[in-house]
Amino acid sequence: MATRSAHINVMIRAADKAARALRRDYGEVTNLQVSRKGPADFVSAADLKAEKILRHELSRARPDYALLMEESGHSANHAEAERRWIVDPLDGTSNFLHGLPHFAISIALEERGELIAGVVLDPIKDELYYAEKGQGAYLNDRRIRVSSRDRLSEALIATGIPFLGHGDQPIFMAELAAVSGEVAGVRRWGTASLDLAYVAAGRFDGYWERDLSSWDVAAGIVLVREAGGQVSQIGGKAIHHDSPSIMAANGGMYTALNQLLRGAAPKSA
């Protein structure tokens, strides 16, 4: 078994507790699809419940750390704290709402502006991904690495598609056309944290998306880096919390994928 640090243990305990609540609520989603009670309101309540659990567990374990959470935003001490948790209590809300068993809890730890640890937990598949700077990446305590494929023609690439009121459809369609014509397949599963975790585990060879928030990708960035992959903005600029795009791939695929995306939308690279 891999040796887990104190930080990773805190993150996993918090994620496990929130996952129990999400699994219970997920079991009720199917019943709500045919009711007038408002499934979207129910899912919002499930999201908030999970976030409340995570806030309580992380704050209790490390009261001096700041928090950045999807629903409630920054904690009161965010300006002076050297470390902060970056949390998405339910990444893949639309999947959850429609009864699709593909969503995750994502927790990252940032220290003085640098991402140093990440946990992504898939409650339904019971898959726990975690990584810490300099310590490698793991899936259920088994060491994982990015894939070794280096030919686009053999690559399986993940992405996210702009939806109602979000993103730039023309740019995405240009990027999709450029990539899909060169690779073995493109997948859109609707959960950015798991897309990045799958790159880290070698299931996907690369991934790109635009217009995400830091809580969507922070933990996944650590996973990919510690699994031997590369992460940047589309075009190669360093990734940061306010980056307008993200691209991740194994070392052999990174340059070729980046060139395809830059060629498709050079002005936005």
Render pLDDT for 80-92 as a digit per residue (tens, 0 to 9).
Answer: 789 999 999 999 9
CATH number of domain containing 170: 3.40.190.80
Residues 81 and 48 in one domain: yes
pLDDT, tens only, 166-192: 767 889 999 999 999 999 999 999 999
CATH of the domain at 10: 3.30.540.10
In a domain, 1, yes or no: no
> Which domain range does residue 114 map to?
6-144
Neighbours of 139 (CB within 10 A): 22
Residue 147 to residues 75, 139, 251, 252: CA-CA distances in angstroms? 38, 14, 9, 9
Model-level pTM?
0.92
Domain boundary among the residues 144, 177, 201 is at 144
Q: What one-character DSSP code corresponds to residue 189? A: -
Number of structural domains found in the chain: 2
**Last residue of some domain: 77, 112, 144?**
144
Same domain, 160 and 198: yes
pLDDT at 45 over 90: no
Same domain (yes/no): 56, 163 = no
Boundary of a domain, candidates 107, 125, 144: 144
Side chain identity at residue 32, one-letter code: L
